Structure 1
Amino acid sequence: MPPWKELPASLDQRVRQLVVQLRRLKDHSGLSLAALAAKTHYSRSSWARYLNGKKLPPREAVEQLARVCGADPTRLLVLHELAAAAWPNATEEDGPEEEESAGTTTHRRAVRRTWVLLGAVAVLSAVLATVLLVTRPWQGEGVRPEAVQGSSQTPFVYVPGRAHPCDVKRQEGELRAGYSTTRTMLMDVNSTGWEILEAQCLLKYHGYDPGIPDGAYGERSKGAAKRFQGDHGLVVDGIVGPDTWKELRR
Structure 2
Amino acid sequence: MPRSKALPAELDACARQLVEELRRLKDHSELTMRQLAAKTGYSTKSWERYLGGTVLPPQEAVEALARITGADPVPLVALHEIAADTRDSRRAKAVVRPQPTTQPQPQPQLGEGEGEGEQKGEQEHPGEAAGPLPEIPATPVALTEPPDTGPAPGRFPHLALTACVVALTVALLAALLLMLRLDEDGAPAAVAAAPRTTGASPPPTYTCHITRVDGGWSAGVNKGRNTEISYGETGADVAEAQCLLRRAGISPGGIDGMFGPLTLRAVKTFQQRAGLDVDGMLGPRSWKALRG
TM over 0.5: no
- TM-score, length basis structure 1: 0.38
More helix by share: 1
Task: Choose 1 or 2 for highest CA Rg.
Answer: 2
- TM-score, length basis structure 2: 0.33
